[in-house]
């Protein structure tokens, strides 16, 4: 399992490929489910030019590690990769990558969904949007 | 003989500071720390709290040297 707070941009598909090659042996899994969240250029009726992602150094990393371990204990899954961006991001930039490998599809889908929903409601991250008219904090997450 | 109090995101902007030290006194709870740092402002129900980087409650007891944090609801992931 690897969970990580990333300060620089990343290519989710390169991350998946690298992790899979380095960590999971060929033929060890039968399913892989991935979720990639990217930045939109609109939110609550306004065009968003950029976004700053803040976190709580120490607490956020610990939380993600515990979350990954919880998913591994709740489902029959083989491995978890979770990367979340912080810092300045722009429309189209990946913000979060969650990948789950398992023997069969159901566990991979279910654990992946669990991980993103838990992360969104509990992990200490905050977003500040840059609009044409200035900046504003995002005060609540949108429903799935 | 102090504890560290940290603030994040919009709460940090509103208070105009990110961190401060508060004198420790026996029997101190998270709620009492909030009362002290805001000079008696009520603790908003949506504000989240952590002690030593784990979620805590208003009545969680604080020890000398602890790190407290207050922050608004989290908004990670993509919107």
Report the CATH number that the domain containing residue A75 is assigned in CATH: 3.90.1170.40
Total domains present in chain A: 1
Contacts of B76 in chain A (CB under 8 A): 53, 84, 96, 119-120, 123-127, 141
How many whole angstroms separate alpha carbon B76 and alpha carbon B68?
A: 21
Alpha helices of chain B — where are they, by DSSP H? 9-15, 30-37
Ramachandran angles phi, psi of B31, nearest 5°: -60, -40
Question: Is A106 part of a structural domain of the chain?
Answer: yes
How high is the pLDDT of residue A139?
Answer: 86
| B78 closest CB neighbour out of A96, A126, A128 | A96
B31: distance to nearest CA of chain A, Å?
A: 20
Q: Which CATH superfamily hosts domain B2-71?
A: Beta-grasp domain (3.10.20.30)
CA neighbor of A124 nearest in space, from A51, A68, A57: A57
Using CB atoms within 10 Å of the CB of residue B52, give its burial: 0 to 12 exposed, 13 to 18 middle, 19+ buried.
middle
Local mean pLDDT, 10-residue blocks, chain A (144 residues): 98 97 90 96 88 98 98 98 98 97 97 97 96 92 72
Q: Smallest Cα–Cα separation from A99: which of A114, A79, A84, A85? A: A79
pTM: 0.94
Contact B53 A116 (CB under 8 A): no
Q: Which of A39, A40, A127 sits opposite B75 (nearest CB)?
A: A127
Q: Is residue A57 part of a domain?
A: yes
> Given the structure tokens 């944090």, which residue do they identify?
B69
Is residue A142 a part of any domain in this protein?
Answer: no
> Edge-to-edge, what's the strand order for the sheet holding A2-6?
A2-6, A77-85, A94-102, A31-38
- Between A54, A58, A120, which is nearest B53 by CB? A58
Reported as a pLDDT band with limits 50, 70 and 90, residue B79 is low
pLDDT tens sequence across B5-57: 999 999 999 999 999 999 999 999 999 999 999 999 999 999 999 999 999 99
> pLDDT value at position A25?
83
- Among the residues of chain A, which ranges form H helices? 12-23, 59-74, 105-122
Q: Are A79 and A1 in contact (CB under 8 A)?
A: yes
Pick the closest to residue B73 from A1, A2, A120 (CA basis).
A120
A143 lies in some domain = no
Q: Is residue A124 part of a domain?
A: yes
**Predicted pLDDT of residue B1:** 80
Gap between the Cα atoms of B62 and A129, Å rounded: 34
B24 is written with which tokens? 């420790």
Evaluate whether residue A122 is within a structural domain.
yes
Angle CA(A106)–CA(A109)–CA(A41) in degrees, nearest 5?
A: 160
* Distance separating alpha carbons of residues B73 and A45, to the nearest angstrom: 21
């Amino acid at each position: 399992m690897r969970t990580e707070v990333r300060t620089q941009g990343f290519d989710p598909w390169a991350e998946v490929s690298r992790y899979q090659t380095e960590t999971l042996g060929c033929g060890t899994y039968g399913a892989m489910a991935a979720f990639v969240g990217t930045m939109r250029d609109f939110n609550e009726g306004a065009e968003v030019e950029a976004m700053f992602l803040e976190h709580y150094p120490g607490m956020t990393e610990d939380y993600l590690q515990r979350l990954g371990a919880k998913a591994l204990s709740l489902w029959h899954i083989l491995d978890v990769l979770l990367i979340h961006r912080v810092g300045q991001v722009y429309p189209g930039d990946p913000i979060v990558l969650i990948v789950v490998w398992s023997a069969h599809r159901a566990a991979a889908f279910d654990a992946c969904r669990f991980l993103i929903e838990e992360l969104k409601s509990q992990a200490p991250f905050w977003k500040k949007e840059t609009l044409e008219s200035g900046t504003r904090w995002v005060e609540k997450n949108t429903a799935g | 003989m102090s504890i560290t109090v940290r603030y994040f995101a919009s709460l940090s902007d509103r208070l105009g500071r990110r961190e401060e030290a508060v004198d420790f006194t026996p029997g101190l709870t998270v709620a009492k720390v909030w009362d002290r740092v805001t000079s008696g402002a009520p603790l908003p129900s949506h504000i989240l709290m952590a002690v030593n980087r784990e979620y805590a409650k208003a009545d969680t007891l604080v020890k000398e040297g602890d790190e407290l944090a207050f922050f608004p609801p989290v908004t990670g992931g993509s919107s």
